[in-house]
């Protein structure tokens, strides 16, 4: 039986992957997209207000629209996890998934995005899903009228604290540096929200829990901070902790391919989403692009599809 070979395999089903797959499909190529999360991590964002063409749209709807657009061009979508990747002697790429399926392609586009960084504080691992969380949209609703802590200083902390304030009785944001560094519009919204308090120049040294349900009860801080209506304390009472300190590129699966990674583990690409490996392209949060947004990831995905198409066309000459 002849081996089934794709023109393009896209690994990752988020904004970058869906855009890459859609454009590759428009080019008339045989395309498959392999991903663990339909629509990618954007689907876990409450509201998106910076994607051109949509003044306001939920992350779930945006992710679904991009995914469905790819399907409309005949892209095969496989919800599986890649566990092994190799470039064969015949220069074809071979991808093995957790379902033990093997996919072979002439080109490969890496769009696996990034995963949440861990704080690394004592108690974090012990109380994960017992008060410690990383996705406000996923888990915020469990803490209605509860005291919620957010650890982080970037735009994710600024945005997600607003969503959590819709659920909790109060949200306390703990910033390691001297200021919250979200987008100006999100910083302004945090500043006027009476249910959000920001503490700066403070570190969470330990996440403390206990009780019958063995859940989070306190944060041990590097300095005393005052809960609303109470005296300052370095053992700060909370019901939940959301760690929002950034992301790490999901690139480990590419190492056997010889792709160049920077010190952060991000895939190095040029302006056309090409890597150092012939036939291998990358897009989105997994790359070394400095400014990472849904729209920039989608644009890089389109560039990757174009580069893959050009690579294939040259091979036909």
- Residue 84 near residue 257 (C-beta atoms within 8 A): no
The residues assigned a catalytic role are 135, 138-139
d(CA 234, CA 227): 10
Tokens 């249910």 identify what position?
A: 195
pLDDT in tens, 244-265: 998 899 999 998 999 999 999 9
Whether 2 has a pLDDT exceeding 60, the answer reads: no
Residue 60 phi, psi (nearest 5): -60, -45
List the domains of the chain with CATH numbers. 5-115+247-316 (3.50.50.60), 132-243 (3.50.50.60)
Nearest to 156 by CA among 122, 129, 133: 133
The pLDDT confidence band at residue 180, using thresholds 50, 70 and 90, is: very high
d(CA 38, CA 75): 13
pLDDT in tens, 22-69: 999 999 999 999 999 999 888 888 888 889 999 999 999 999 999 999
Distances (CA, A) of 247 to 117, 130, 149: 5, 21, 19
Mean pLDDT for 264-284 is: 97
Q: Kindly provide the b/e burial profile for residues 2-17, where b requires at least 16 CB atoms within 10 angstroms of the residue's own CB.
A: eeeebbbbbbbbbbbb
Whole-prediction pTM value? 0.82
Sheet of 204-210, strand order: 204-210, 215-225, 233-237
């Amino acid at each position: 039986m002849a081996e089934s070979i794709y023109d393009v395999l896209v690994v990752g089903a988020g904004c970058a992957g869906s855009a890459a797959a859609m454009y590759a499909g428009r080019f008339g190529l045989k395309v498959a997209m392999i991903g663990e999360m339909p629509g990618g991590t954007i689907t876990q964002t409450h509201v998106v207000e910076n994607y051109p063409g949509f003044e306001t749209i939920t992350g779930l709807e945006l992710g679904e629209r991009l995914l469905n657009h790819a399907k409309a061009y005949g892209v095969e979508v496989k919800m599986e996890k890649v566990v092994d990747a190799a470039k064969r002697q015949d220069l074809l790429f071979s991808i093995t998934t957790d379902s033990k399926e093997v996919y072979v392609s002439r080109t490969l586009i890496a769009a696996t995005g990034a995963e949440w960084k861990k704080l690394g504080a004592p108690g974090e691992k012990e109380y994960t899903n017992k008060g410690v969380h990383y996705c406000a949209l996923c888990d915020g609703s469990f803490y209605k009228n509860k005291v919620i802590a957010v650890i982080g200083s970037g735009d994710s902390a600024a945005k997600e604290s607003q969503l959590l304030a819709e659920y909790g009785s109060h949200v306390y944001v703990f910033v390691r540096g001297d200021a919250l560094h979200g987008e100006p519009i999100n910083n302004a919204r945090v500043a006027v929200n009476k249910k959000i308090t920001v503490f700066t120049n403070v570190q969470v040294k330990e996440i403390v829990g206990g009780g019958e349900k063995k859940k989070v009860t306190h944060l041990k801080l590097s300095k005393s901070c005052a809960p609303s209506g109470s005296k300052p304390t370095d053992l700060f009472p909370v019901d939940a902790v959301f760690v929002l300190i950034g992301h790490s590129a999901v690139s480990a699966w590419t190492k056997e391919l010889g792709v160049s990674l920077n010190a952060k583990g991000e895939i190095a690409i040029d302006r056309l989403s090409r890597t150092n490996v012939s036939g291998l392209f990358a897009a989105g949060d997994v790359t070394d692009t400095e400014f990472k947004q849904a729209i920039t990831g989608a644009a890089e995905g389109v560039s990757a599809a174009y580069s893959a198409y050009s690579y294939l066309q040259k091979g036909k000459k």
